[in-house]
Amino acid sequence: MPGILGSIIEEFLGGFMGQTSNLVRNEVDYITSSVKSSIENGIKEGFDAVRRVIFYLFVALGATLIGMVFLIWGLAKVSGQLFGSEGAGFMVLGAAALLVGMLSFSMSKPK
């Protein structure tokens, strides 16, 4: 009689422990996948936000550099001709590109 009762208790506890183990394992898997998807979504959203800012930053940097080149080139032409009209076009283009670069840089700052 004690052997039969012992085996029944053993099987009951074994089944209970197996089910509990499966439930714990399922819960851990759910939490792991939830954390993983949250991290993945956060990285994607962060990359999208940074990508937009970097794009505007490169546009601003490019326009600023082009503006500076035209402005310096125009000043060199003007100073070479000393009040001649040859460098005035480069100065106007350089100042306009510089203005566009400054405006796009000021608009690309995070809010």
Domain locations in the chain? 2-107
For every one of its 111 residues, what pLDDT tens digit does the chain have, with 9 covering 90 and above?
A: 566 666 666 666 666 666 777 777 888 888 888 888 888 888 888 888 888 888 888 888 899 889 888 877 777 677 667 656 666 666 777 787 888 888 888 887 666
Say if residues 100 and 108 touch (Cβ distance below 8 Å).
Answer: no
Grouping H, G, I as helix, E, B as strand and the rest as coil, residue 111 is coil
pTM exceeds 0.95, yes or no = no
Angle in degrees, 0-180, between the axes of helices 88-107 and 2-81, rounded to the nearest 10: 160
Contact call for residues 88 and 43 (beta carbons, < 8 A): no
